[in-house]
Structure 1
Amino acid sequence: MGAYSDGLLMLLIAGIAAYLLYRGFRSWVRKPLTLRSRIRYQLNTDILDHPAVELLEQAGYEVISDRLKVPLSFQVNRDVLYSRLFIDYIAVRNGEFYLVKTARERLAIDWTGSGVRRELLPYLLLYPDSAGVLYIDAEQGMIKKICMIVDDNEDEDDTALEGYGG
């Protein structure tokens, strides 16, 4: 009985190890690509009084930088085009940093998936190590935290179509 139980125990251990390797490999393959930004920012530590700063501090954030200008350049064929993005503040809470954008009446965000993508995705892609973007409407006294997540529902929709033969 000893040889039989030893073999069964080895088979059980091998099965668990194979399962853990499979899960680890699957997790590694499905892991989203992370891009490291080459665009660095110099903190602007001269923080001016603003209702948005007060709102952030009341919510437990520490504002570590005022408005930043992120210069961008693009080469299109032989021409070089210049642009810039502005980050209103950098805030920290629980060791994670957030890029902060404040609401502007003439540049209202359309709070749909495409509207958020159009207005805020460049910030999330430029600084993927940030915990997200905080969108502040100081007049309304509101802070919205925007984080990009991986939507697994798209995979389910794709698998539902695999069996479709028509």
Structure 2
Amino acid sequence: MDRFGDGLVFVVALVLIGWWIWRRFDNWLHEPPSSRLRKLAQAGEVEPDEAVDFLQEHGYSVLSGKHRVPLGVIVDDGPVQTTRLYFDYFAAKEDRYYLVRLERSRQPIDWTASGLRERLLPYALLFPECDGIIVADPKDRLLRTVRFRVEDEKA
């Protein structure tokens, strides 16, 4: 009788684990694309400062701040080299989400197409759900929105 009880407990445990895995997979499968952005919006704290006030003056609500995205780089099957990609804020305006980078005097942005590509394209590729990347310069009172799109080669 002891073996029957052990087997029953084992089968019940397997059924529960299988059900839990199925539910996780089903939730992941039906998760809306914007859920990643909602998680990002809740990830960082916003400390009031000049940049946050500047964004709010332009109608943006700053949802979170100071994010670090860890990345691993492997060259020729060598060891993983770690690096990070930083952005300053995550903001929303009229149900659209934006990553915010503050322009810094020690790292000025080259406002040519190739300069913007080199500096900001990684953000657009990592967060395709965002409607753009805002480059804010609170000191000079400038706010620019950068968007990328794939062009047709026929031109």
TM-score, normalised by the number of residues in structure 2 = 0.70
Q: Which amino acid aligns with 1:149?
A: R
Question: Are residues 42 and 130 of structure 1, via their aligned partners in 2, closer, same or farther at CA, if it must alter by over 3 Å?
Answer: closer
Percent identical among aligned pairs is 36
Q: Which amino acid aligns with 2:60?
A: Y
**Gap runs ≥5 in structure 1:** 1-37, 157-166
State the alpha-carbon separation in 1 of the partners of residues 40 and 59 from structure 2.
23
The 3-state SS of whatever aligns with 2:71 is: strand
Q: Which amino acid aligns with 1:48?
A: E
State the alpha-carbon separation in 2 of the partners of residues 74 and 46 from structure 1.
28
Deviation readout 1:67-105 (Å, 9 max, x if unpaired): 111111122213101000111000001111100000111
Q: Counterpart in 2 of 1:97?
A: 97
State the alpha-carbon separation in 1 of the partners of residues 147 and 85 from structure 2.
19
State the alpha-carbon separation in 2 of the partners of residues 124 and 81 from structure 1.
22
The 3-state SS of whatever aligns with 2:106 is: helix
- Structure 1 residues 1-166: aligned runs within 5 Å: 41=40, 43-76=42-75, 77-152=77-152, 154-156=153-155
Q: Is the contact made by 2:44 and 2:66 (CA closer than 8 Å) also made in structure 1?
A: no
How far the C-alpha of 1:51 sits from its partner, in A, is 1.4
**Gap runs ≥5 in structure 2:** 1-35
